[in-house]
Chain A
Amino acid sequence: MRDARAHIRRPLGARLWLSGTWLSILALAAVFAPWVAPHDPLAQDLFLGRLPPFWMDGAEPGYWLGTDSLGRDVLSRMIHGARVALMVALVAGTLTCIIGASLGVLAGFYRGWSDRIISRLVDIWMAFPPVLFAILLIAVMGPGLVSIILAIVVIDWTRFARVIRAETLSQGAMDYVASAQIAGRTRFNTMIAEILPNILPTVVALLTLEMGIAVIVEAILSFVNLSISTDSPTWGGMIAEGRTSVHQAWWVLVFPLFTLFLTVLSFSQLGEGLKDRFDPVLR
């Protein structure tokens, strides 16, 4: 009588654990950066330039992951860089999600003219090359945190709109929606109370994916020097600087790159993991 799936207590899952742990560490480091970072991330000391990480010959105690060519502490710069990365991820991801998902739900649920307008807008939007779009926007607005966040929202809301619209369409065709209407629910109420909970897993998965994308976009823009000013360290900026001296000091490039990779991977794994947990049928 009971479905067999209900008996399988799904363990929390390694990926949910690992990605959650990494992102929590990162978040803590970002919030408490001034206290956690062993050094001032901007302090230069040319006598301490290109120190290797702690396990190598010539390492200086206290500079765990070495220093760059200007003698700035790599670990401290990465910790401070996490602030920018997570800030962009959180704000840009959430805004993109809210705007894109709302439009997607409206188009998919009400269909008719609202769908025609929104779908047409998405099509037109997606015809623009996104990177060009971002560079244009930042050229007009000037570099800075706000420009980056805006660029990400402006480029990526269509991803949410398309996916959520499709999901809403398929949910809307189900009999439970008809039943709710026969039972006297208004259309708006049906959308909020019946359909929304069922597309939430998809929204969550997309949101975390988007956060990962935001981190990458920020890094890319920093890499091409279009991000925020040079006095706050960013992973992308570190990667750009590290690239020029990779043969003398690989660590300046490799540590931020690896952190970036791990963070983006964690976001996408967190999304997948949460989707499974949220999904009532898989739960």
Chain B
Amino acid sequence: MTQFLDIRNLTLRLRGGPIILWSVSLRVTSGMVHGLVGESGAGKSMIGKAVLGTLPRAIEVMGGEVWLDGVDLLALPPRDRRRRIGETAALIPQDPLTALNPSKRVGPQITRRLIDILGWSKSEADQRARTLLDEVRIPDIPRVMRSYPHELSGGMRQRVLIASAFAAEPKLIVADEPTTALDVTVQKQILRLISEMRIRHGTALLFVTHDLGVVSKVCNSLSVLYAGRVVEEAQMPRFFMRPIHPYSRALLAATPTYLDPDGSLQPVPANVIEDVENENHHHALRAGYDV
């Protein structure tokens, strides 16, 4: 099995400020789903952005490699990197409202990449968009393609974005908390849809979430991120049976689906959090970064 995405010792920091990712390593196998779990602010989205080449300008890459399909993206010149990413990867974003351009009709927003990057004709791209919209079970496709984003509900928009992500047959999709912004009732449908679509298309998925319950349903393996550092990397069934890192255990205990036998919900204990933070501090001193 090949590692389609292989992040090695990626260290990011805010320019002139704190470290945001501490030598993060993470692998996604072709056709598999790798979960990336951690609380808000842990740096999950930054990892996704590093892979997709959309890091904010304020963030600086201090070291590491991001191998995508056998090429180190960080070693490529920007133009080649963009093309490479455009051909092989896509994003399912967190907020379907801001992820579609409000001033453009939905159809062209799906076909854009097919025309721009793959050089398809407009009619081919349109046909492809219709097929994909059908796969994500959107009714009245011609009307939806003519709609502006605000004319669609959140769930519909997310379906459109899923169709759009799969349209160019990327080998890897980064799904950054794809259900967080949706109604609870819609979340399950969207989750199921993403699973179904990625099986049908054989796409590898880097699934970013803060919800271990979701991970247990869709992922083959996972990395637990805490305060910018991977504290545990595990295959799926093993993690839920025998989490190793104290933070993972605490996280598991704090997840409602995995209650203790006595049914109580455990908050993540403060001493666990302190331990990880001390670890970061020592790491920083070793690496000679300002803290």
Contacts and interface: CB of A to CB of B under 8 A. Distances in A.
Q: Does chain A bind chain B? A: yes
A183 to B, nearest CB: 4
A6 interface: yes
A176 interface: yes
Interface residues of A, number: 26
A179 B91 contact: yes
Interface in A1-44: 1-3, 5-6
Interface in B34-49: 49
Contact of B89 (A1, A3, A182): A182
Given A176-B101, A197-B103, A3 B52 contact: no
B117 interface: yes
Interface residues of B, number: 35
B103 to A, nearest CB: 4
A178 B103 contact: no
Contacts of A194: 101
B152 interface: yes
A182 B172 CA distance: 12
B19 to A, nearest CB: 21
Nearest to B138: A1
Contacts of A186: 82
A175 interface: yes
Interface in B142-164: 147-148, 150-153, 156, 164
Contacts of B185: none
Contacts of B94: 175
A277 interface: no
**Which of B57, B82, B89 has the largest number of chain A CB atoms within 10 A?**
B82
B152 A176 contact: no
Interface in A256-283: 280-281, 283
Contacts of B98: 174-176
A176 B104 CA distance: 11
Contacts of A61: none
Contacts of B183: none
Interface string B83-98: 1011001110111001
A215 to B, nearest CB: 30
A281 B95 contact: no
B113 A176 contact: no
Interface string A166-196: 0000000011101111111110000000100
A155 to B, nearest CB: 31
B100 interface: yes
A159 interface: no
B53 interface: yes
A184 B52 CA distance: 11
A245 interface: no
A3 B82 contact: no
Interface of B: 49, 52-54, 57, 82-83, 85-86, 89-91, 93-95, 98-104, 109, 112-113, 116-117, 147-148, 150-153, 156, 164
Given A3-B152, A184-B82, A280-B103, 9 more contacts: A1-B153, A2-B151, A176-B101, A178-B49, A182-B53, A184-B86, A280-B102, A280-B148, A281-B102
